[in-house]
Homo-oligomer: A and B are copies of this chain.
Amino acid sequence: MLTPVEEIIEEIEKDRKSGASTLTDKALECFAVFAEQSSDKTLQTLQDQLLLICNELIHSQPDMAPMFTVTQRVLSCVENLKNQNPSPEKIRKTIKELIHTIRTELVQAKEKIAAIGLSLIKNSDTILTHSYSSSVKEMLISVHKMGTTFQVIATESRPGFEGRKLAQDLGREGIHTTLIVDSAACKLLQNASMVILGADRVTEKFFVNKIGSYSLALCTHHASKDVYVVCDTTKFVPTSFSTVESKLYPDEEVLEEELPNVTVENPYFEEVPLSFIKGVICEKGLLSPKEIGVII
């Protein structure tokens, strides 16, 4: 039988629909449950257990930077305690406090991101977005609640169709949303004021987002319109982070039947050069590609 911690990791691993922010929430929950329920009697077994969890989390969603940044923060925090020869209880308490701190920071980040969104999006704007990003969704809903009237064009996002969920969530909040097939994004761009995308990872050279983001960003750049990326800085990692291989995703999502001499390739993510974008909206402000390069 799986432990509660193992159950959360399995849930994260099987999750094909959520963006990096939602998965970060789950990873934090995983550490919180670990700190609450771990019954390890010695410092060493607790640390071994923690290292195992961090490793599993990183490999559960290798394209999601927060799996790396959050686990690194937990590990560093425990490492820093070592000189104090802490009790397992002390370590568990410290992890709980760190998770609380990170959650508070993430709430504050959302507020700062919403404020930048409010200054960027004007009445009557049309925002084109691709796939489902909870960072993008929450920013748009906040800006709408603060009184700006805009509309959204959302792609359906094959193979998982998670754009339908975004359209449903935005529509329910009263934001008028047009749902399109992914291939129509470059044509519908002509009706858009700007493109706003989420990110699972941002490096000094590129960001990683759902497959289809590269062509959309290139077309937008080519049409002299602006692409913005929305994410908190837990998604910021150096390019050299890309040591874990991207996962392969199930063929059945693209083609259910077997056809002779036909195979399926089903990548979920791709890298988009920062040179295609105007900037990244995060809790540190609206950062230009150059500024991102300095920070990371």
Q: State the A residues within 8 Å of B (CB).
A: 153, 156-159, 164, 167-168, 170-172, 174-188, 210-212, 214-216, 218-219, 222, 254-255, 259-267, 270
Q: How far is the CA of A214 from the CA of B186 in the complex (A)?
A: 7
CB pair A265–B178 under 8 Å, yes or no, is yes
- The listed residue (B180, B212, B254) touching A156 by CB distance below 8 A is B254
| B residues in contact with A264, CB < 8 Å | 178-180
Closest to A187 in B: B270
Q: How far is the CA of A184 from the CA of B246 in the complex (A)?
A: 15
CB pair B212–A168 under 8 Å, yes or no, is no
Of A157, A215, A218, chain B has the most CB atoms within 10 Å of the CB of A215
Closest 8 CB pairs of A and B: A183-B212, A171-B261, A215-B215, A186-B215, A158-B181, A171-B262, A182-B183, A183-B211
How many copies of this chain are found per oligomer? 2
CB pair A182–B180 under 8 Å, yes or no, is no
Q: How far is the CA of A177 from the CA of B216 in the complex (A)?
A: 25
State whether A262 and B184 are in contact (beta carbons under 8 Å apart), knowing that A218-B215, A254-B156 are contacts in the complex.
no
CB pair B211–A262 under 8 Å, yes or no, is no
Q: How far is the CA of A218 from the CA of B208 in the complex (A)?
A: 20
In the complex, besides A167-B262, A186-B218, 19 extra interface pairs with C-beta distance below 8 angstroms are A158-B181, A158-B182, A164-B255, A168-B259, A171-B259, A172-B260, A177-B262, A178-B262, A179-B254, A180-B264, A181-B182, A181-B211, A182-B212, A186-B215, A188-B265, A214-B219, A215-B219, A218-B219, A218-B222
Closest to A164 in B: B255
State whether A263 and B218 are in contact (beta carbons under 8 Å apart), knowing that A158-B183, A183-B211 are contacts in the complex.
no
| B residues in contact with A157, CB < 8 Å | 183
CB pair A185–B255 under 8 Å, yes or no, is no
State whether A261 and B219 are in contact (beta carbons under 8 Å apart), knowing that A159-B181, A183-B158 are contacts in the complex.
no
